[in-house]
Structure 1
Amino acid sequence: MGMFLNSRNCFEDYRETVSDTYFVDKSALIRELIPALEKKNRYFCITRPRRFGKSVMANMVGAFFGKAADSSGLFAGLQITKDKEGNDNQDYHKHLNRHNVIFIDFSEIPRDCTDYRQYIDRIQNGINNDLAQAYPDFEIHTEDAVWDILSDIFQKTGDKFIFVMDEWDALFHMPFITEEARRTYLLFLKALLKGKVYVELAYMTGVLPIAKYSSGSELNMFLEYDMVTKKKFGEYFGFQECEVDRLYQIYQEETDRPGITREALRIWYDGYYTASGKRLYNPRSIVCALTDDELANYWTSSGPYDEIFYYIRNNIESVREDLVFMIAGEGVQAEVRNYAAVSMELNTRDEIYSAMVVYGLLTCINGKVYIPNREIMEQFKNLLMSKESLGYVYNLAKESEKMVKATLAGNTQMMAEILKYAHDTESPIFSYNSEIELSAVVNLVYLSARDQYRMEREDKAGEGYVDFIFYPEQRAADAFILELKIDSTPEEAIQQIKDKKYALRFQGKTGEKPKYTGRILAVGISYSRKTKEHFCKIEELR
């Protein structure tokens, strides 16, 4: 057993996954791969945003096919042991631990690595050394090209190899990699895999699509499967509704006094979609939240708003107003393609949004891009409140701290002044041609409220749909309901809040204590297109 050839690493990694309390069985993926063994179309590249289970699946594939360890105990009772009709799967017994697997994690680098040659030599020399140990009767020169050695082994023994390659695009993010190194790397993959009879199957994962790196035919043997446009493999990456339901049931059974609601999981981590339209949750965030019994941002480890800024920095003016709408929960029209963020300068709106979809910072539905959930929304909020280069959007976001305080204090004059300040900017979205634009602006000037409130738009409440409901994070804090009107009055807005019984949203079930013990405020905001004035009124409902 070697470091690359029939390594125990993937077996051990998948063993840890299977033993986790919140394990989800995705082993049916292997049923999709077995028919491709030794066929022409045996090259698969699956791209997904980070934290969507790509490495887990790569380890699973390696653990199933590889000879490193008996993995029958890992897969016993999993979906792969049955065929699609639920009968005993003969392919399972035929292929379990019967293949030579070369597993490469391209995110790993040698110690003190400073150039591409050191990086790639670790992989080539490591595979060659493993082959020399596995075939001691052969005269193997470890300084030879790995593809020559593999070809020679096949000619003499007929042995073939399954290649499992995780994070194929990791190299493109490494600081010491040059454009020339990138081209050399693609030629390495081509020489290793393309047209090689010793390749029984090639399974490769990454975030970025091959097509935007390979300008010629280097890697055109791969069939690429992304989350947005390809239906195949869609259900194996990310958690579906039914899977989260099962995990949540386990959480309730295993956790003393569980503090997370099922609805909260949806708000924080849902919002992605397969190409066939099925909803997806970020799997890592779900597992971490249930394990910790705490809702938090698990998707990024550091610098979230700086990461978003990386994508928009070349064309702030064209996306600035779109950010206002997306923060308000609206979708923005975009033509999404599989742009690779580090392979080009992102200058146009479509390039920017396409890259952000690839990385999971936005989700795409019916030709529009959205901020998927609260976890990512937190990053956008931090961006708007931290980057002065965003101009008036940044200035209004900073004003949001005053707006929240003015609302809770009943200072309607201050509220109207802030709204007038927003309207006096030169942006066309402040022309209020529809209530959607007014809603977007109001959402922006209440941006900082997201630190203290769960802010919902068009939430079903009472007997109708309300524009905004602010659910406080603290039970004793004040809650408020906000209704918007154009060419009407704030009094009419408040009357609608009363007539539609929107305040019922804050009440618990019959016989239970109220969800919130603070005040419930009705906030009416109107705008007159004739006088260009905003009017605000606040009334306490409880």
Structure 2
Amino acid sequence: MTADDVEFGEVKVMGNILNPDKDNSFIRLVKFKDSEIFVDKTDFIGKISAKISADKRFFAITRPRRFGKTVTADMLSAYYSKGYAGQKIFDNLKISKEKNYEEHLNKYNVIYIDMNSIKDKYISYTSDKSLYIEDIDDIVDFLQYLVILDLKENKNYAEQINKAPLVGKKSLSSALDVICRYTGEPFILIMDEWDLIYREYKNETVLQEKFIEFLRGLFKSKDGQDCFALAYLTGILPIKKYNSQSALNGFKEYNMLAPEPFETYFGFTEDEVAEIVKSPDCTLSHQELKKWYEGYKLNGIDIYNPNSVVSAVSDGKCKSYWSGTSSNEEFVRLINTDFQGIKEDIINLIEGDEVTFSCANFQNDMVNIKDKNDVFSLLVCLGYLGCAETKNQYRKVAYVPNAEIKAVLMDIVREQNWYERMETIKRSESLLKAIKELDGATVATLIQEIHNSSAVTLLDYNDEESLTYCVMTGLLWSTLDDYSCHREDQSGKGRVDLVYEPITRRQPLILIEFKYDGSAEEAIAQIKKQEYCKRYTGQFKNIIIVGINYSTKTKDHQCLIEKLN
């Protein structure tokens, strides 16, 4: 079979890599920007263009899935590639207002490598023995072969490559060197999901090393560097380190652990979400979107998960869209490591606690995980945790960023065989059981334990809000399946502090009123006087009312519970 005849499935391999000219994710967004959510971040182009042909012109920008990496890579391709010349894609966008807007517009031969597409074609290649090409034995060989094949679609390039005896089917660096020596024009290379081999082939160390050597061949030597006016890699994982050095020292990396100065270009900011909710088509409030999808603090800037915001606004409902974007197997593997206390740490994080960790020795891969510090570093890179800065650049504070991730983590944790054995889970079950049995003394004792736990500090325990949070933390795990929780729900002549409404009528409705330096008796009396139960009496035959007080003098909790007939 000749190179010109090679097809895999229904997808022809040529014409997709050098100077792509088809609609991509960014172009489609621009086309429908008047009817769909479109956030203009094209000023990012100006920041990248400022580095063209400079010493620091190699970028690796990594973020979790669905954080806008591909659409940004597509945006850069549409701006720099000669394939899009004359299409006026950027008219009236931010970048068009900049002084040097046209300096680099569609002036470059762009090599765009989509590693997900390469993987899909490689699977087709390996599944059909009739497609076998001599010496193309793994995905790294296959990647180079496809790019060279695409380059040879250009007749001038093909002529130069064919003249060079040292350029084989899998020597992309040599092919580019030959072309650039002939044309004098450097390429721009964009590689989306650069870390796919580290994620999808995470146990194949020989293949990973071969891939890194391939990248080194492109970017390490002076001849290789001269072939590129700009190189831009995207992925989830930062570039792997060997010892303390990056495998590609020439690349400037921007990741979830060190995002500056590009914090605002991946994800939505507060101001951008504020504009989104102004649309008449948006039925969700800014506060709802903030609770569910914000919380990634990149260098102190609050960032929202953009895919989830768009999905929620489109559906008109806030829920978790995270689980549909990636497998959670990696998270499961990490929390089931034998590192001391990792399971307790995860549960505490879900309950609202924070955990400090060091990212100083993280090797940026998914296999060589040495301790809890590596676990938290990787979970931040994957987007399961947010992290805040400390005075030490390598010490970070991990936390669960928002309701979306919290829901995902809770579902994962509850599927683990150790879940029911955890003391926190047992305590939550005991607290709900004591409420149902009208055992106020036990409820007060358990709340005291929760109050003294790491998730609820004495420093912040200074009002009814803190007391409410303490009880919600205690009931978090035991009420997941059978209850929905409402705070300050309008009922009767006022607002009851906390309502646990059962999903089925088999469970009792629970109304809780809090007092701070008052008494549990006052709380119970208020529920009755304000007729908080009136709204529910027609729906529920089994209603439990709970009064809880905290005394700042004695530092004790008091609880009274009654069952209404």
TM bin (shorter chain): 0.7 to 0.9
Unaligned runs of 5+ in 2: 1-13, 128-134, 390-395
Q: Within 2, Cα distance between the matches of 1:142 and 1:423? A: 72
1:380 Cα deviation (Å)? 2.3
Select which of 170, 174, 180 maps to 1:148.
Answer: 174
* Structure-to-structure mapping, 1:233-272, within 5 angstroms: 233-250=262-279, 253-254=280-281, 258=283, 260-272=284-296
Distance 1:154 1:431 in 2: 59
The C-alpha deviation readout for 1:422-471, integer Å capped at 9, x for no partner, is 9999xx94999948799668614332435543567xx999xxxx998458
> Is the CA contact (8 Å cut-off) linking 1:469 and 1:481 kept in structure 2?
yes
For residues 431 and 55 of structure 1, the distance between their equivalents in structure 2, rounded to whole angstroms, comes to 37
Q: What is residue 228 of structure 1 aligned with on the other side? A: 257
Alpha carbons of structure 1 residues 261 and 101: separation in structure 2 relative to 1, 3 Å? same
Alpha-carbon distance change, 296 to 489 in structure 1, aligned in 2, over 3 angstroms: same
SS of 1:388's partner is coil
Which one of 181, 186, 202 corresponds to residue 231 of structure 2? 202
DSSP 3-state at the match of 1:315: coil
Find the counterpart in structure 2 of residue 510 from structure 1: none
9, 18, 27: which one aligns with 1:5: 18
Aligned ranges for residues 53-452 of structure 1 at < 5 Å? 53-70=68-85, 72-83=87-98, 89=99, 91-108=100-117, 109=119, 110-112=122-124, 113=126, 117-134=137-154, 135=156, 136-140=158-162, 143=169, 145-175=171-201, 178-194=204-220, 195=222, 196-212=225-241, 218-250=247-279, 253-254=280-281, 258=283, 260-275=284-299, 277-301=300-324, 306-315=329-338, 317-337=340-360, 340-348=364-372, 350-366=373-389, 367-390=396-419, 392-393=421-422, 397=425, 400=428, 407=435, 411-413=437-439, 417=442, 429=453, 434=458, 443-450=473-480, 452=483
Q: Give the Å deviation of 1:353.
A: 1.6
| 2: CA distance, partners of 1:416 / 1:305 | 41
1:4 & 1:431 partners in 2: Cα distance? 51
- Kindly provide the amino acid, as one letter, of the partner of residue 256 in structure 2: M
TM-score (norm 2): 0.75
Percent identical: 30
For 2:145, the aligned partner's letter is: N
Structure-1-length-normalised TM-score? 0.78
Determine which of 36, 41, 57 is the counterpart of 1:42. Answer: 57
CA distance in 1, matches of 2:536, 2:114: 49
Kept in 2, the 8 Å contact 1:268–1:375? The answer is: yes
Structure 1 residue 228, shift from structure 2 partner:
3.4
Give the equivalent residue in structure 2 for 1:511: none
Q: Distance in 2 between matches of 1:270 and 1:96?
A: 34
Deviation at 1:420, TM superposition (A): 6.2
**Residue in 1 that maps onto 2:9:** none
Q: Runs of 5+ in structure 1 lacking a partner?
A: 84-88, 507-513
Residues 485, 334 of structure 1: alpha-carbon distance in 2 compared, 3 angstrom cutoff:
farther
- Contact 2:355–2:397 (CA<8 Å) still a contact in 1? yes
Aligned length: 503
CA contact (8 A) 2:295 2:386 kept: yes
SS at match of 1:453: strand
Amino acid at match of 2:116: S
How much has 1:246 moved relative to structure 2?
A: 1.3
Q: Does the CA-based 8 Å contact 1:62-1:101 persist in structure 2? A: yes
Q: Given that residues 306 and 383 in structure 1 are in contact (C-alpha distance below 8 angstroms), is that contact kept between their aligned partners in structure 2?
A: no
Cα 1:185–1:162, aligned 2, differ >3 Å: closer, same or farther?
same
